[in-house]
Amino acid sequence: MSVRITVDMNLCESHGQCVFVAPDVFWFDEDEILNHKPKVDSSEYDRVVAAAAACPVRAIQVSKIGEEVQ
């Protein structure tokens, strides 16, 4: 199991609340644009959900995805 993260960049206003909660998953590049890992391990689920809840514009979607076939 892993966790898929999508950010609606039309909504994102670079508040940075998600970066505060999970700086290893979300970060700003030099142009102040939000970057994020597309997928993290399921052990990170709680933290990523917390980051999504912290977003004032609800730009972050988190979903659990099944075992990937490598």
Q: Which of residues 9-28 bind another protein (CB under 8 A)?
A: 13-17, 19-21, 23, 27-28
Compute the half-sphere exposure of residue 8: CA atoms within 13 Å on the CB side of its CA. 11
34-63 as b/e: b if 16+ CB within 10 A: bebbeebeeebeeebeebbebbeeebbebe
46 is a contact residue toward another protein (CB under 8 A): yes
62 is a contact residue toward another protein (CB under 8 A): no
Say which entry of another protein, ligand SF4, none residue 7 contacts (CB below 5 to 8 A, set by partner kind).
ligand SF4
Give the one residue of 17, 37, 45, 47 binding ligand SF4; rule: CB under 6 A.
17
